[in-house]
Amino acid sequence: MGLKIYVVKRIIYMIFLTWFVLTLNFLIFEVMPGNPLEFFAGRPGSLSAERVEELMTLWGFRDPLYVKYYRYIVNMLTFQFGRSARTGKLVGDLIGEALPNTLLLMGVSTVFSIMLGVLLGAVAAYKRGGTLDTTLVTGSLITYSLPTFWMGMLFLIIFGLQLGWFPLGKIVSYWPQYPTGHPPPLFQTPWFYIPSFEELVNRLWHLTLPAMVLVLFQFGGYLLLTRATMIDALSEDYIVTARAKGVKERVVVFKHALRNASLPIITSAALAFGFMLSGAIITETVFSWPGLGGLTWRAIQLYDMPILHVLFYVIALCVIIANFMADLLYGVVDPRIKYG
C-alpha cells in the first residue's frame, strides 16, 4: 500500500471518526438532565406551563430525536453554528473574537514548551546520572506539579504588584484612540485588523506572564518524554558506530539519537497543538485573558449549549486533524516507516 492509498484510507477514517464525535456530542447534551428553559428564565417555576410548551416547540425541543439529530449534523458540517442562548450573538462571531487571543497565547507557550523541553531533555539524557540531569528532572517535576492558578497568582504578585514589570491582566492596556478604550480583535470581520507596532508590543507585554506560566507548566512533560526516549536511543549500536567513526558528539546526540527518538515527541506535540483551541481555562481566568478557555468556562456557567456544542466539535476536529498530520510526519522523520 502506497502513500496515496494510505492517505485515502486515513481520510475515510477521519470522516467516520468525525461522524462518531458529532453523534457522541449530540447525545451527551441530549441526555443532560433538567429543563434548559427554566435555567434561562432564572429560576424554576418562573414560566407558565403554556409558555414553556410554546418555547419548547418554537426552539425545536419537541421535535423527534432523528429530526434534531439531522439538523444538528447538517448545521455542524456546514458551520451554521447559530446564536448564543444567552447573548443572542452569533456563535461564530464569539469564537472569532476569542480565537486569535487563544492562538497567540497557546501557540507561543506550546512552541516554547516543546523547544525547551526537547532541548533540555536531550541534554539530561546525555548527562544522565549527573548533577545536571538530576537538577533538570527535579525542576521539571516541580513545575509540572504546581497548580497553574498558584503560579499565575504568584507571578502577578511578584512581577506585577511588587516589581511592576508587567500588567496585572487583560490582553492590552487602555487605548484612548479607540471609542471602547480597547482595540478590536485581531481578526475582525469583514475587515482584517492590523495593529500598530506600539500596540503589538503592548500585546506582547501582556502576553509574557501567562505564557511564562504555561511554559513552566508544560515543558516538564516534554523534557521527561525526550529524556526517556533519548536514553534508549543513545544505547543503540548505530550510536556506538557513529562515535567510533569520529562523528562529533553534538551531531550524534541531536542528529542521530534525537531524530530516531522523536516519534513519541511528534505524537505528544501533535496532540498539544490539537488541543490548543481548548485554551487554558485556569490561566486565562487568572490573567483575565479573553480567549476560548474563558469563553468555554462562561458557557458552562451559563448553560449556553450552542457555544458548548460548537467548541467541543471544533476541538475534536482539530485533534483528529493533528493526529493525521502526525502520522504523515512519521514517514518524513523516520524513513524506516513504510505506509504499506
Residue 301 and residue 329 in one domain: yes
Cis previous bond, 190, omega within 30: yes
Residue range 104-139, pLDDT digits in tens: 888 888 889 988 988 888 888 888 888 888 888 888
For 82-96, 118-132, 193-207, 314-328, which range has the lowest pLDDT when averaged over its residues? 193-207
What's the pTM value of the predicted model, to 2 decimals? 0.75
Q: Are 148 and 217 in contact (CB under 8 A)?
A: yes
| Cβ-contact 220, 114 below 8 angstroms | no
pLDDT digits (tens, 9 = 90+) for 249-298: 777 777 777 777 777 888 888 777 777 776 677 888 888 888 888 888 88
In this model, does residue 197 exceed pLDDT 80?
no
Write down the pLDDT at residue 235: 76
Q: Which one, of 310, 316, 308, lies nearest residue 275 by Cα?
A: 316
86 by Cβ neighbours in 10 Å (0-12 / 13-18 / 19+) ranks as: middle
- The per-residue pLDDT for range 32-46, each reduced to its tens digit, is 766 666 555 555 555
Cα–Cα distance for residue pair 132/126, rounded to 1 Å:
10
Regarding whether 145 and 241 lie in a shared domain, the answer is yes
Q: For residue 181, what pLDDT band results from cuts at 50, 70 and 90?
A: very low
Q: Give 103's Cβ-side CA count (13 Å radius).
A: 10
Instruction: Compute the distance between CA of residue 214 and CA of residue 7 in angstroms, rounded to an integer.
Output: 34
pLDDT at position 275 is 74
Q: Report if residue 100 sits inside a domain.
A: yes
Kindly state whether residue 158 falls inside one of the protein's structural domains. Answer: yes
Query: Are 110 and 19 found together in one domain?
Result: no
Residue 20 domain-assigned? yes
- CATH classification at residue 263: 1.10.3720.10
Which grid cell sits at 306?
450552542
pLDDT band at 305 (very low <50, low <70, confident <90, very high): confident
**Residue 56 included in any domain:** yes
Angle at 167 between CA 196 and CA 154, to 5 degrees: 145
Distances (CA, A) of 34 to 31, 39, 41: 9, 8, 13
- State residue 187's pLDDT score: 46
Based on the domain organization, do 257 and 117 belong to the same domain? yes
What was the pLDDT predicted at 189? 41
In a domain, 4, yes or no: no
Instruction: Please give the pLDDT value at position 25.
Output: 85
54-82 pLDDT, tens digit per residue, is: 666 666 667 777 888 888 888 888 888 87
Q: Read off the pLDDT of each residue in 152-167 and give the average, rounded to a whole number.
A: 85
Q: Evaluate whether 210 touches 105 at the Cβ level (below 8 Å).
A: yes
Instruction: Tally the domains of the chain.
Output: 2
Beta carbons of 39 and 52 less than 8 angstroms apart: no
On whether both 120 and 61 belong to a single domain, the answer is: no
Which residue segment(s) compose the domain that 35 sits in? 13-77
Residue 84 lies in a domain: no
Question: Pick from 77, 101, 131: which residue ends a domain?
Answer: 77
**Dihedrals φ, ψ of 211, to 5°?**
-65, -40
Output the average pLDDT for the chain: 77
Asked, for residue 1, whether it belongs to a domain, the answer is no
The answer as to whether 7 is a domain residue is: no
> Do 176 and 308 belong together in one domain?
yes
Q: Are the beta carbons of 109 and 148 closer than 8 angstroms?
A: no
List pLDDT tens digits, range 290-303: 888 888 888 887 77
DSSP code at position 90 = B
Mean pLDDT of 209-230: 87
